[in-house]
A and B are shown apart, each in its own frame.
Chain A
């Protein structure tokens, strides 16, 4: 989130794919999408290109859609890591 804010400060819009959205909110991330994933698989299940691509595509769509700083948009994808 620190790096995201630094990038946003030079005028480049950013979107964060977060596994821990409350942390993103606390640290002032400007735009966030949050699929239901564990830390370490923010962009979706490993070896599931369809889910990963959908998450990246929705992240880009929300980059344009989000109009209010600090907005967190939940994404309808779910992956449980087998630990």
Chain B
């Protein structure tokens, strides 16, 4: 007996597909690494343009010597009350600078990035914004990236 009763019938239950593996091996010791922060929590300089809360695929550059107090958040997708008290709970740039001063890492990267996740066109993030941010980090000689998102 054929198991297929109706040709072309598909399950209505969506099965999640995990994307293929990506993996960049670590090449250096931590003390020799220049480390960048990248967040999708909507962090940017207070002097910079706010994100469009309805969905925004652009990014903001945050220089490595920026102090936490000069940053703010515009993001409509999570409770902002903690980051408004202290940006380091989502974008720990002051902490990373302390670790660089202690010699735990070599340096904070000259460029760090803020994006607004949780909205916006996924394809644009995947094929335009993401690769652009990655290329800029590579051009600046960044050895490792810490991300906060999700």
Contacts and interface: CB of A to CB of B under 8 A. Distances in A.
A70 B21 contact: yes
A44 to B, nearest CB: 6
A46 B142 CA distance: 27
A40 B145 contact: no
Interface residues of A, number: 55
Nearest to B73: A40
Scoring B81, B86, B131 by chain A CB atoms within 10 A of each residue's CB, the highest score goes to B86
Contacts of A17: 146-148
A59 B146 contact: yes
A83 B78 CA distance: 12
Q: Please indicate which of the listed interface residues A7, A17, A70 has the most CB atoms of chain B within 10 Å of its own CB.
A: A7
B143 interface: yes
Given A2-B122, A12-B134, A28 B21 contact: yes
Interface of A: 1-21, 23-30, 38-49, 52-53, 55-57, 59-61, 63-64, 69-70, 81, 83
8 contacts: A3-B147, A9-B24, A10-B24, A15-B145, A49-B94, A52-B95, A57-B104, A60-B35
